[in-house]
Amino acid sequence: MENGQLNRLKAFLSSPKNIVIVPHRNPDGDAMGSTLALCQYFNSKNHKATVVAPNEYPEFLHWLPGSENVWLFDKQNNQSKRAINNSDIIFLLDFNALHRVGDDMAKTLEAYTNDFAMIDHHQQPDDVATYLYSDTSVCSTAQMVYHFLEMLEDTQSITKNIATCLYTGIMTDTGSFRFRSTTSTTHRIVADLIDKGAENDKIHNQVYDANSYNRLLLLGQALTNLKALPEYKTAFITLSDAEKKKYGYQKGDTEGVVNYALSLKGIIFAAIFIEDVEQKIIKISFRSKGSFSVNKFARAYFNGGGHDNASGGKSDVSLEETVAYFTSLLPNYKDELQQSYEE
Ligand code: 5GP
Ligand code: MN
């Protein structure tokens, strides 16, 4: 954050404030971990902070400390709107543009007249925040919240619960500390979070070893549908609505499934196409290794975006048509895909 902004924000926060903290729609581990950590930090400093999430987050994150006080904008609409309209400032965490909270909540935020602060690691943040801390090189928003507390010279106020939330955000957004964005700084921060009480083995168990039987069967179906196109170093997975229904799909069940496609030897570009009949879209996740930018790819063809190696988007046509369109694009990228990664 630019120094002038930081000083103004520090001055603003020097007296008790009503603060709302917002993650993106369909919040993931980083979105929930970073918002809950910041919320508990502010509440420990005599502010009145509340997390208002656009919609429900996965079951495997419900154990996170502070989770019981989260309001869901779509379900608890009146309380959520009241909290937003009564707040002195809104923190936007882990997203870069207001539309990422969904149309309905975006309207409420667009009408908001006090200031926004944004802490985020996605590319090209929209110009909405009076206080902007944007850094695309940082692995997770949770790590940025840690750096934000460093800027406030207050990491000593990190409690066990705050450390647990930050650890969860960093762990989930780095694929358990394995993606390229994981640096020695990340490991130093994680070490400090463990010193401050984060129980790393428990957190891993609660997030990754909490599968339902049906979720594993759905994963089996996804792997059965896996297609590899070695000439493009590409692999993709599809899941139809019927397949989701067959295995009692719950929110979060498909999280991370795309990484199985990327785990194939020689594959550097992976996608998953998931039919969503409610929203009438095909929701897509892209992942890559090396220099092939799935952020650019998702922006160019699928109305989406994200990071260079992890992005998402959507399509309005059928699952079959979406896959056909996707595969028709690959020849344009053959050389780039062949050259993009040294094994
Ligand atoms: P995921 O595939 O896990 O849903 O998302 C991967 C990354 O891409 C996340 O950082 C997420 O914020 C971003 N992303 C996912 N879907 C979209 C989308 O529809 N639009 C944009 N701009 N970013 C997305
Ligand atoms: Mn994130």
HEC-encoded secondary structure of the chain: CCHHHHHHHHHHCCCCCEEEEECCCCCCHHHHHHHHHHHHHHHHCCCEEEEEECCCCCHHHCCCCCHHHCEECCCCHHHHHHHHHCCCEEEEECCCCHHHHCHHHHHHHHCCCCEEEEEECCCCCCCCCCEEEECCCCCCHHHHHHHHHHHCCCHHHCCHHHHHHHHHHHHHHCCCCCCCCCCHHHHHHHHHHHHCCCCHHHHHHHHHCCCCHHHHHHHHHHHHCCEEEHHHCEEEEEECHHHHHHCCCCCCCCCCCHHHHHCCCCCCEEEEEEEECCCCEEEEEEEECCCCCHHHHHHHHCCCEECCCEEEEEECCCHHHHHHHHHHHHHHHHHHHHHCCCC
**Confidence check: pLDDT of 180 > 90:** no
Distance from residue 100's CA to the centre of ligand 1 (Å) = 9
Determine which residue's CA is closest to atom 12 belonging to ligand 1: 306
pLDDT one-digit tens code per residue, 131-144:
999 999 999 999 99
Which percentage of the chain shows pLDDT scores above 90? 95
Determine which residue's CA is closest to atom 15 belonging to ligand 1: 312
Ligand 1 atom nearest the C-alpha of 302 is: 19
Looking only at the bridges linking them, the beta strands covering 281-288 and 310-315 are: antiparallel
pLDDT at 342: 54
Question: Comparing C-alpha atoms, which of 94, 68, 60, 38 is closest to residue 204?
Answer: 60
Distance from residue 34's CA to the centre of ligand 2 (Å) = 9
Tokens standing for 79?
């309380």
CA dihedral 267, 268, 269, 273 (to 10 degrees): 50
pLDDT one-digit tens code per residue, 233-258:
999 999 999 999 999 999 889 999 99
* Burial category of 88 from C-beta neighbours within 10 Å (exposed 0-12, middle 13-18, buried 19 and up): middle
pLDDT one-digit tens code per residue, 43-68:
999 999 999 999 999 999 999 999 99
List b or e across 46-70, with b for residues whose CB sees 16 or more CB atoms inside 10 angstroms. ebebbbbbbbbbbebbeebbbeeeb
Determine which residue's CA is closest to atom 3 belonging to ligand 1: 285
CA distance 310 to 297: 11
pLDDT at 114: 98
Place of tokens 């943040």: 125
Distance from residue 162's CA to the centre of ligand 1 (Å) = 25
Tally of CA atoms within 13 A in the half-sphere of 247 that contains its CB: 22
Ligand 1 atom nearest the C-alpha of 314 is: 19
Nearest bound ligand to CA 297?
1
Please list all protein residues whose beta carbon sits less than 5 angstroms from ligand 2, which is an ion: 30, 94, 141, 173
Tokens standing for 71?
């309001």
Ligand 1 residue neighbourhood (C-beta within 6 Å): 24, 122, 285, 304-307, 310-314
* Orientation of helix 160-173 relative to helix 200-208, angle to 10°: 50
pLDDT at 341: 64
Distance from residue 121's CA to the centre of ligand 2 (Å) = 7
Ligand 1 atom nearest the C-alpha of 295 is: 8
Distance from residue 303's CA to the centre of ligand 1 (Å) = 10
Determine which residue's CA is closest to atom 17 belonging to ligand 1: 312
Q: Which amino acid is at 339?
A: Q
pLDDT one-digit tens code per residue, 300-340:
999 999 989 999 999 999 999 999 999 999 999 999 999 87
